[in-house]
Amino acid sequence: MSVSSPSSVDPTRISDLPKLVGTTATVSGWVTHLRSSGKIAFIVMRDGTGLLQCVVPKKEVSEATWEQFGALTLETSITVSGEVRTDARQVGGVEMGLKELTILGASALDYPIQPKEHGVDFLLDNRHFWLRTPRQVAIMRIRNEIEQAIHDFFYERGFLRVDTPILTAAIGERSGLFATEYFDEGNAYLAQTGQLYGEAAAAAFGKIYTFGPTFRAEKSKTRRHLTEFWMIEPEVAFNDTHANMRLQEDFVSFLVQRVLERRPAELTEVGRDVSKLEKVKAPFPRIDYGDAVAILQKKGSTVQWGDDLGAEDESLLVEDHELPVFICNYPKKAKAFYMKENPDDPRTVLCNDLLAPEGYGEMIGGSQREDDHDKLRARIIEEQLPVEAYAWYLDLRKYGTFVHSGFGLGLERTVAWICGTPHIRECIAFPRMMHRLHP
């Protein structure tokens, strides 16, 4: 069933209703709750901007309207008209005394998501419906707030946003690649990072950031891995690794403060302990990789100098801190080829991971970039990467090389930490994981 009603005014939304108390209003939405005593009925509906309770006294509505009520099922789309009244007990502080009810689209009785516990696989199979539920709406609004805050942060600081290619020939990180045939050019790879293009853009524009989807064909089934995730990658000319970390802590503090200021209702909906977030203000502690290994060994970890740090190690390292923690200057062998050799200890590189508190793990990976042409070329060969594909990248070191650094913030991991959700699959509208391509 479909209805079209060309209208000269924009539809009223539930969030507009507090301004319309005392008037008659008309709104459209979907039924989320129904109950009736036989004499008085209640419809709770949602429209994506809020919830509205409509009160339907049998005596005060027409027989036809009362019958319409009887035909409602969960998720039926409806239009209601009636008087907007103050009711302090309701979310939004208003309710509607219903006068008219129109069914726009019926909803079959077997709507998959019922008011009961569902397993997560079932919910993911029904993600197109799961998204309609209050917790999911809150997470997506917080995600949107973070996305907007990211753009505001960089815009206010004079960064240029650069959109880097998703189909690439060059390779960025070590983890798995998704390949697709590309006409006569051989394989194209879905971008794992926009960074290398970001570096070229930094030489053109000074301060840039990218904001786009990135892809990793990793066979990881952890609560922190998606095969498609969104990454924000600033790249700044003439910033060294220290300036890079200052930018990261200012950035993360800004994002957290913004959500606290503008999304308190959503943080309540997801059950977040905001007292933990309120403490997140720069500066963040910095721990040298070597010291981190010593701390971990004292805590009983089997990690050895030279190893990359795993999820368990990361949790152990943050357990004594309330702030995100920088782990600095990892061994060269554990990190990507493009990181700058540490002049004070050439076994290591000038880089950092930023670990989120409360065991949410690595939220950011950043580094100063190798700006020495020959050292970079040697690292590319050492890693057995195809030097030809990196010719343009090496050129950046041939024509006016420059100190520069940048980082990548994983959006879903950041949303997961700020919302306090255990798994990042809830932090993107339609998650892509090793065993999930639908819906």
For residues 321 and 87, give the distance between their C-alpha atoms in angstroms, rounded to a whole number: 44
In one-letter notation, the amino acid at residue 193 is T
233 lies in the site for ligand 4AD, by CB under 6 A: yes
Q: By CB under 6 A, what part of segment 113-172 binds ligand 4AD?
A: 172
> Helices 241-262 and 134-156, interaxial angle, to 10°?
130
* Chain Cα centroid distance, residue 420: 12
* Tokens found for residue 193: 């990072």
Given candidates 29, 82, 366, 431, which one binds ligand 4AD under the rule CB under 6 A?
366
Q: Is 331 in the site for Mg ion (CB under 5 A)?
A: no
- Could you tell me which stretch among 59-67, 258-266, 359-367, 372-380 binds ligand 4AD (CB under 6 A)? 359-367
Secondary structure letter of residue 207 according to DSSP: E
199: Cβ–Cβ under 8 A, 6 or more apart, which residues? Answer: 235, 369, 393, 396, 404, 406
Residue 412 binds which entry of Mg ion, ligand 4AD, none, CB below 5-8 Å type-dependent: ligand 4AD
Distance in Å, CB of 353 to Mg ion, minimum: 6
Q: Does residue 404 belong to the site contacting ligand 4AD (CB under 6 A)?
A: no
Burial class (CB in 10 A: 0-12, 13-18, 19+), 4: exposed
Taking CB under 6 A as the binding criterion, the range among 11-19, 150-158, 182-190, 223-231 that sits at the site for ligand 4AD is 223-231
410 forms part of the interface with Mg ion (CB under 5 A): no
Place of tokens 């570096």: 199
Of 49-78, binders to Mg ion (CB under 5 A) are none
Residue 371, interface with ligand 4AD (CB under 6 A)? no
**Dihedral of the CA atoms 245, 250, 252, 258 (nearest 10)?**
-170
Which residue of 65, 193, 342, 352 would you call a contact of ligand 4AD, by CB under 6 A? 193
Query: Do the strands 94-105 and 351-356 form a parallel or antiparallel pair, or are they unpaired?
Result: unpaired
Sequence-ordered list of residues with C-beta below 8 angstroms from that of 148, at least 6 positions apart, any chain: none
* Rounded-to-integer distance, Cα 244 and Cα 367, Å: 7
Judged by CB under 5 A, which of 234, 365, 366, 431 binds Mg ion?
A: 365
Q: What binding mask, one character per residue, do residues 321-350 give for ligand 4AD by CB under 6 A, x or -?
A: ------------------------------
* Residue 362 binds ligand 4AD (CB under 6 A): yes
Please give the C-alpha separations between residue 323 and each of 175, 249, 280, 296, 306, in angstroms, as whole numbers: 28, 10, 6, 18, 26
Nearer to ligand 4AD, 363 or 380 (CB): 363
**Least distance to ligand 4AD, CB of residue 283, Å:** 19
Q: Tell whether residue 376 is a contact of ligand 4AD (CB under 6 A).
A: no
**Of ligand 4AD, Mg ion, none, which one does residue 95 interact with (CB within 5 to 8 Å by kind)?**
none
Q: Does 364 bind ligand 4AD (CB under 6 A)?
A: yes
C-alpha to C-alpha distance for 388 and 94, rounded to whole angstroms = 65
Which of 215, 193, 238, 169 lies closest to 404 in space, CA to CA?
238
50 binds, among Mg ion, ligand 4AD, none (CB under 5 to 8 A by kind): none
Q: Which stretch binds ligand 4AD (CB under 6 A): 147-155, 378-386, 390-398, 410-418?
A: 410-418
Residues sharing a CB contact under 8 Å with residue 110, sequence separation 6 or more, in sequence order: none
Choose from Mg ion, ligand 4AD, none: what does 189 bind? Cβ within 5-8 Å by kind.
none
- Say whether residue 363 binds ligand 4AD (CB under 6 A): yes
Minimum CB distance to ligand 4AD, residue 149 (Å)? 17
With beta carbons less than 8 A apart as the criterion, state whether 292 and 331 touch. no
Give me the residues that bind Mg ion (CB under 5 A), please.
365
Give me the residues that bind ligand 4AD (CB under 6 A), please.
172-173, 193, 195, 216, 218, 225-226, 229, 231, 233, 362-367, 406-408, 410, 412-413
